[in-house]
Amino acid sequence: HMLHTILRNLVTNALKFTHPEGTVKIAIKNTQNEVLFVVSDTGIGIPTKYLNNLFSIDCELSNNGTANEKGTGLGLILCKEFVEQQNGKIWVESKVGEGSSFKFLLPSAKKE
Partners of residue 91 on adjacent β-strands: 103
> pLDDT-based confidence at 59, cuts 50/70/90?
low
- Does pLDDT of 52 surpass 70? yes
% of the chain with per-residue pLDDT over 90: 67
* Residue 86 within a domain: yes
* Residue 46 within a domain: yes
Number of domains in the chain: 1
Residues of the domain holding 84: 2-107
- Does pLDDT of 64 surpass 80? no
Nearest to 78 by CA among 60, 54, 46, 95: 54
* Residue 71 within a domain: yes
The CATH number given to whatever domain includes residue 28 is 3.30.565.10
* Residue 38 within a domain: yes
Question: Which pTM does this prediction carry?
Answer: 0.87
| Helix and strand totals (H; E) in the chain | 3, 4
Q: What is the pLDDT of residues 70-103, one digit of tens each?
A: 566 688 999 999 999 999 999 999 999 999 999 9
* Residue 83 within a domain: yes
> pLDDT-based confidence at 53, cuts 50/70/90?
confident
* Residue 112 within a domain: no
* Residue 63 within a domain: yes
